[in-house]
Structure 1
Amino acid sequence: MAHSADPRPQSTLAVLGPVARQTVQDQVYSELRRSLIQGAFDAGEVLRIRDLAARMSISTMPVREALARLISERALEPLPNRSVRVPLIRRAHLEDLAHARALIEGELTAMALPRLTSADLKALRAATRAYDNLAAGRIETAREAADLNHDFHFRIYRAAGSDVLIPVVESLWLQSGPYIRKAAEIFETGRDAPATNHHHALMEAIEAGNVQAGRKALVADIGRAFDLLRQRYEFDREAA
């Protein structure tokens, strides 16, 4: 007598493998990504896989995989000796980044402005106050300022509701990290307007519901760092 077929559906979970290494790789990627966005690395700085692995107390494999992801996102450049480096500050790329960020982030701000909730406004005001209160001159403060700036902008951008544009902006911020770092080094207290000025102007536009003024303040905020580099950075021949 033939046996009837097992009525239980075969689980597709059998095709899945262990995820522990992938989890570590994601953590490494997130930490390196955050550091790049914060401008923690100098333009042209070489990152060696073994050094990074030793610093993070992990094997080289997840570091290699994380770096490959960041290279694909143009946040890092491969070198012939299997190391990678933070891209040099190049004049053409500076102009390209500045143009792309103004276009995309300006549009996201315009899209987001009528959709921001009272909770969003409360969070944006708190971030602006915290940014104002930071004391200058300490590495911890610089990293905290970068995080506050990121949270402020992306709170606005996510309100736009565009799942397509957000990853594009994240990639642009990754590529902008060394430019922002160098601009911060060039910044002169008392000579240059602080970044919070533009945040306050943007908040005023948001609270007034003025889309045009909001876009203008956002573009001015983005352009501040790039303008400092245009005016005072000495581009070398390799980075021209």
Structure 2
Amino acid sequence: MNRKRAFLMLMAALSLLSGCTFDRVVRQVSPSSSGLSSPAPPETADSPSPAVSGADQPVNQREESFFLNDQVGWKSLYEGYGMFREDMTLYQTRDGGQTWSEIAKSADKQSFLPEGVKSGMVFTSETKGWITTNAPWQGTVGLYATQDGGTTWSKQAIAVPDSFQDALLFVYPPLFVTPKDGFLVTRPDSTRSLVFVTEDGGDHWKAIVDQPKGSFARCSWSLAEGVYAVQHDNQTWTLNTGGSGTWSQD
């Protein structure tokens, strides 16, 4: 696949995230012994609304929520400005969505929030979480981590194999099937595959190249026609790299 076509594919993928207005509530597995996710509470009148200021107005807005349990959750309001700029404001709730507190904002001068077009947000505890983000970056994975519940973020160092150093790697939000075991999918600008697994709660990620199926810890995965399936403890999660780009539990 030539470079021009690969670049156009990345542009199309990013436009699905930033080129339209929509609301999305993410139902991610809660890292508990049961492995079951908690339903996200409904929207309330107290939910925050994105602010638009001055002449620098966003061309699109969207929203994403992630709930760790029935009380603690995060909401991100995204504002896209084109050219891979997508600002965000991050809120947290501790009462099931009745009230929200702003904890981070891209517009702040001392903001630690990542740049690029975001593809997902995941937390495994009240302090530990990740945001995935994309732009035409070569040989890098846009994975950012927080250790303080979302107030500060830093890019996580992930060793990308040498054969992918020139590739545009579109990254999807990680899936954690336990507090320790996680699976991170990227889509290279080629027919190859590159995924990462962790067995220490996301502190370190191991690259797995061009393997349509495999296993780690007590998990197994398979890839068929662009759809990843991860199995653990008689449960299955799937991610369609040609669809919404979010994990769903079967």
Which protein, 1 or 2, shows the higher relative CO under an 8 Å CA cutoff with sep ≥ 6?
A: 1
| TM-score computed with the length of structure 1 as normaliser | 0.24
Rg comparison, structure with higher value? 1
Larger helix share, 1 or 2: 1
- Scaled by the length of structure 2, the TM-score of the pair is 0.24
